[in-house]
Amino acid sequence: MAGHSQFKNIMHRKGRQDAAKSKVFSKLAREITVAAKLGVPDPAMNPRLRLAVQNAKAESMPKDNIQRAINKAAGGDAENYDEVRYEGYGPGGIALIVEALTDNRNRTASNVRAAFTKAGGALGETGSVSFLWDRVGEIFYKPEAGDADKVMEAAIDAGADDVVSDEDGHVIQCAFENVGEVSKALETALGEADSVKIVWKPQTNVPVDEERAQSLMKLVANLEDDDDVQNVYANFEVDEATLAKLSAA
């Protein structure tokens, strides 16, 4: 699996239990509000809002919280958030992409830059690393959706480009512009997905040792801890032995 996926698996196993649910829900609510404000406040008529609500449900966000975030946009009293992408290099020259929703660009840029600097990295200009990535749709199903063959068949029929299945579940990838169509077809065959996202997929991954992996994990964790940061992506790769050590630590 790709380095970013390995890292995210560690964070799912370790970080989710440690992270405050209020922070997670706050970020999910912000995305729901922005999606509802940019389109209509109806998930059935607004693809981005539908994905945001679906991902909130996957995190066990209460229905009342979800509806409150939608109503906030519909009522016209929601803050104005800007979608901002930051790009730079972390320890060992690892490329990172940071996506944020912010009502104060200066504050967010300062916080992101400080995190990079503290880790021995450097924040770059927009476009400085994104050329190393592809924008793709990523649809996740838990193992209960079916075995690898069943999911693969459904993914092919739905028009997906790739499937990675392991003990944690099934990750289905497609062109980002087709994610709505592919996810609907998969829902017919496999049921509702656990998450549907638009992500940055690195074209190649850079191998890192244990020390470098720990530094990168700390940098990503610090970035994700910022209230304005929604997603962080890094193009690194960790061997299985090191991954096992980090997972057990």
Distance, CA of 32 to CA of 48 (rounded, Å):
8
Between 191 and 76, the more confident residue is: 191
Segment 83-126, tens digit of pLDDT: 999 999 999 899 999 999 999 999 999 999 999 999 999 999 98
As beta bridge partners, residue 162 has 173
Which of helix, strand or coil describes residue 232?
strand
- DSSP state at residue 14: I
Q: Where in the chain is the domain with CATH 1.10.10.200?
A: 3-74
Q: For strands 206-207 and 236-237, give the pairing.
A: parallel
Q: What are phi and psi of 187, to 5 degrees?
A: -60, -35
Other CB atoms within 10 Å distance of the CB of residue 58: 16
Q: Where in the chain is the domain with CATH 3.30.70.980?
A: 82-123+204-248, 132-202
Segment 128-167, tens digit of pLDDT: 999 999 999 999 999 999 999 999 999 999 999 999 999 9
What confidence score (pLDDT) does residue 24 get? 87
What confidence score (pLDDT) does residue 3 get? 38
CA 44 to chain centre: 22
Q: Find out whether 6 and 241 touch, Cβ atoms under 8 Å.
A: no
As beta bridge partners, residue 229 has 100
How confident is residue 12, by pLDDT bands cut at 50, 70 and 90? very low
Task: State the architecture of 82-123+204-248 in CATH terms.
Answer: 2-Layer Sandwich (3.30)
pLDDT more than 90, % of the chain: 64
Choose the CATH number for 132-202 among 2.30.38.10, 3.40.50.10710, 3.30.70.980, 3.40.50.1220: 3.30.70.980
- pTM (2 d.p.): 0.84
For the domain bounded by 3-74, which CATH number is listed? Answer: 1.10.10.200
Q: What is the 3-state secondary structure (H, E, C) of 58-106?
A: HCCCCHHHHHHHHHHHHCCCCCCCEEEEEEEECHHHCEEEEEEEECCHH
Q: Residue 218 pLDDT more than 50?
A: yes
Distance, CA of 10 to CA of 20 (rounded, Å):
17
